[in-house]
Structure 1
């Protein structure tokens, strides 16, 4: 078995992990969590979403969070689903942006009230403006393995969205097991095919742990040549439009796994454990 010598872990907890919390997490608590994660050694952290506050109230403080991240001097990612959101992010000085499109038509409709075709057309405008401002662009493809509404998702469905992202010069593409139903064999085959069809594209693995397969799926993805993974501190998060899906794969467990395998990440485990305890405390109170 061949494994990479080094892996990048992109921490998504402050955005993806907290966005669906029903009780608003105080802005100062979010700042403390972000600071603790930065001190743990993460090079990139997804910290905010510039969606309309009425849609995602938890992210209403996105501009203030962005200002704090700039003060820390860190690289951070913000979700910008449309041109209006992107313009707000640009005004806030965000260096890296992200957009979402589902590989499943039904999921995409339920998640953002758009057909895939409409979403891809909207993305083109976002990408054009982001490129003009020289921003790093991340594309998320959701439901890349199965869908709670449609069942199995085919490779061609995933390729449709990936091809669009690649055409517009997206810097990296995160492939999501959004409902946590993927298995290692499927993960290996899907990433291997993506790497074959798009050899110059940076892919990221994004797994949920609904069936407890996420860590095995990370191993399978590494076997297919993937060296970047999203994870969420304390396993926070989930998708409200994916019935039964649990949280994202836990950052501290991923780090522990890779540490045992002698794969470098430059993450300080003691600081990470402290961040995980703090993350749990701010959503339990």
Structure 2
């Protein structure tokens, strides 16, 4: 069994996590979270999103967060942008990396962003072109890669098709997201293998939600195929809006603990990461969903 020697963890808690939390936090708290994550050794921290505050009020202060943030050398701070207006906000804030998103499910695309998959890719084309022209790094997300709340199972060929289209727009990296967390290891492997036939493995990342408790197993299965970039959210921030009461992103602490146990380097200090998770959970008034964080807290109590 062969694994990559190192894995780059993309910490999505400050964006994908917080945007799905019901409590809206101050910019000051968000900045402290991001800076704590950077101090823990996180190499990539998704810092916010330039999206409509009407639809995602939790991200309305992204420009302020970026302005107040002390950026650590060597750390990347991507932001999500849905359109050219969002890109203008990102450029004004001095970002160096943006992310765009598409779905592998037509129904999800229509209900989430009110357009077809093809139309969403057309919308992103000028965004990607301008971003590349400005020297920005570009990341693409594909949602619903293992299941859709409206259509059920999603064909792996469709996932590969969308990933290839994002690569054609100039995305340096494409994150494959199990948005509703229904995947299992074999399905995850089959999906990743199908996409890797079209897009180089070193351009791919995996993004698993833990609705059915399968996220770590799915990540392990994908590591075996050679993927070396994994998305996760500290303390398991976020939820799954399509499965009431379900947990959201896989917890970063749990991923790092597993990587450490496999001898795979991440450069992240687990104790400091858990500290960042404890900080944000206190601010949100909620408990961590990370089993590792809970175990560490119990051991130190």
Q: TM-score per shorter chain, which class? A: over 0.9
Q: Which has the higher contact order (CA 8 A, sep 6+)?
A: 1
The match for 1:279 is: 280
The match for 2:96 is: 95
Please identify, of 99-108 and 73-82, the stretch whose mean Cα deviation from structure 2 is larger.
73-82
1:1-285 matches, cutoff 5 A: 1-69=1-69, 71-73=71-73, 74-199=75-200, 202-241=203-242, 245-284=246-285
Separation (CA, whole Å) in 2 of partners of 1:199 and 1:57: 36
Report if aligned partners of 2:147, 2:183 keep a CA contact under 8 Å in 1: yes
Separation (CA, whole Å) in 2 of partners of 1:263 and 1:164: 31
Report if aligned partners of 1:8, 1:229 keep a CA contact under 8 Å in 2: yes
Separation (CA, whole Å) in 1 of partners of 2:155 and 2:243: 18
Separation (CA, whole Å) in 2 of partners of 1:234 and 1:98: 22
Separation (CA, whole Å) in 2 of partners of 1:126 and 1:207: 26
Deviations 1:175-208 (A, max 9, x none): 0011000110011111122222223651001000
TM-score (norm 1): 0.96
Unaligned runs of 5+ in 2: 287-301
TM-score (norm 2): 0.91
Report if aligned partners of 2:159, 2:191 keep a CA contact under 8 Å in 1: no
CA RMSD of aligned residues (A): 1.5
Separation (CA, whole Å) in 2 of partners of 1:275 and 1:38: 10
Label 1:100 to 1:238 Cα distance change in 2 as closer, same or farther (>3 A).
farther
Separation (CA, whole Å) in 2 of partners of 1:239 and 1:123: 25
Separation (CA, whole Å) in 2 of partners of 1:22 and 1:143: 22
In the TM superposition, residue 283 of structure 1 has moved relative to its aligned partner by: 1.0
